[in-house]
Amino acid sequence: MKKQYLLTPGPTPIPRDVMQAMARPIIHHRTPEYKNFTRAINADLKKLFKTEKNVLTFASSGTGAMEASVVNTLSVNDTAIVVMGGKFGERFAEICRAYGVKVVAIDVEWGHSPAPSAVEKALKENPGAKAVFMQLCETSTATVYDVKSIAHMIKKTSAIMVVDAISGLGSDEFNMDEWGVDIAIGGSQKAFMIPPGLSFCAVSNKAWGAIKKSALPKYYYDFNKYECLMEKSDSPWTPAITLAVGLQKALSIIMAEGVCEFTARHAKDAEFVRKSAGSLKLELFSKSPSNAVTAIKVPDGIDGEKLISGLKLKGVTFAGGQGDLKGKIFRIAHMGGITRHDLEDALRILKETLEEVTLS
């Protein structure tokens, strides 16, 4: 059987040990055995998020946690500042508007990182803004943002800082407590090395203050319901049991490697991909490239969608561009269970395919 290389920024490959853990007979969630899983998961998630606060876990894609961060902290007619530098920045704005929250957009050229001064300016012009929403890694452009500098500036204000770290967590440097991030969001299908279906929110004391004032409707995603059961290692609703078992195993693999070492490996693999792209005379799209995923411009004269489909026929799956970037870039993930050997093979096949597409 021909090897398949899944190198998309979610879902990512699942290690064999994790798949075997999820293949075990299912257990009931209101039992000591399952509560031991959730206790271990929360302890390890804290280490990955680099926070002393509990990490709330939801049975949803990452978008569910993004929505939860809005409905738990804001009210109708509140003002939120949203960094808009790609599809996922746009998604935060869409969620806010769906709940009657006024959006002040900071439009960032796709592929660029927002300047801290632009966020500072928006806060000064909108002193009543309750929150700033942004990404750690804008997945659609493979761009890492300077969360540390922006967080340092925001924590001097009354606004909370919400960071979608779904694709960047574990790959790009992130330190929730030290930097002063108020809500950090994660998702299971990225560096966490398990299938889609779990999302996470770590919540600061400052954010809990905003939660007390929030009047937006929420039920399933009510932070208070989850937090009050954390001491019992319990969940208000039926959890995604099999995914949680897989998560516990995946986290144990990350902890055995070491969180800092895990992130450093991503940085090395990202640099390898970027240098390899350069050797193929390919141009990076992002001016601030992430260590989770690399976006590469499709060379002139080549059909980007044809290139992606040609690679897939050879067993290599890259992600294409989104929105206005469709057909103009392709994205190579190097996160989680993706190995250096996977990247070497995929880049070799990319070189062959580029030559074939150019000749045709």
Q: What is the pLDDT of residues 286-333, one digit of tens each?
A: 999 999 999 999 999 998 988 999 999 999 999 999 988 999 999 999
Give the count of beta carbons closer than 10 Å to the beta carbon of residue 238: 10
Q: HSE, CB side, 13 Å, CA atoms: give it for residue 237.
A: 13
Give the count of beta carbons closer than 10 Å to the beta carbon of residue 57: 25
CA–CA–CA angle 191, 146, 250 (5° rounding)? 15
CB 287 within 8 Å of CB 166: no
Q: Answer whether 0.75 is exceeded by the pTM.
A: yes
Q: With H, G, I as helix, E, B as strand and everything else as coil, classify residue 54.
A: coil
Give the count of beta carbons closer than 10 Å to the beta carbon of residue 300: 5
Residue with tokens 């970037």: 325
Label residue 173 exposed, middle or buried (CB < 10 Å: 0-12, 13-18, 19+). Answer: middle
- Percent of the chain that is helix, strand, coil (3-state, to 5): 45, 15, 40
> If residue 160 lies in a helix (H) or strand (E), which one and from where to where?
strand 160-164
Give the count of beta carbons closer than 10 Å to the beta carbon of residue 111: 22
Provide the CA 137 distance to its chain's centre, in angstroms.
7
> If residue 131 lies in a helix (H) or strand (E), which one and from where to where?
strand 131-135
For domain 5-12+258-359, the CATH superfamily is Aspartate Aminotransferase, domain 1 (3.90.1150.10)
Q: With H, G, I as helix, E, B as strand and everything else as coil, classify residue 290.
A: coil
- Indicate if the pLDDT at residue 280 is higher than 80: yes
Domain ranges of the chain: 5-12+258-359, 16-256
What is residue 172's DSSP assignment?
B
pLDDT digits (tens, 9 = 90+) for 157-215: 999 999 999 999 999 999 999 999 999 999 999 999 999 999 999 999 999 999 999 99
Beta strands in 182-247 (DSSP E): 183-187, 199-203
**What whole-number distance in Å separates Cα of residue 360 and Cα of residue 338?**
31
pLDDT digits (tens, 9 = 90+) for 39-89: 999 999 999 999 999 999 999 999 999 999 999 999 999 999 999 999 999
Q: HSE, CB side, 13 Å, CA atoms: give it for residue 40.
A: 17
**What whole-number distance in Å separates Cα of residue 348 and Cα of residue 353?**
9
> If residue 79 lies in a helix (H) or strand (E), which one and from where to where?
strand 79-84
Give the count of beta carbons closer than 10 Å to the beta carbon of residue 314: 16
Q: Maximum distance among all alpha carbons in the chain?
A: 63
Mean pLDDT score of the chain, rounded to an integer?
Answer: 96
Q: Which of the four pLDDT bands, split at 50, 70 and 90, describes residue 4?
A: very high
Please provide the CATH number assigned to the domain covering 16-256.
3.40.640.10
- Indicate if the pLDDT at residue 1 is higher than 70: no
Q: Which phi-psi region, left, alpha or beta, contains residue 355 (left: φ > 0; alpha: ψ -120 to 50)? A: alpha
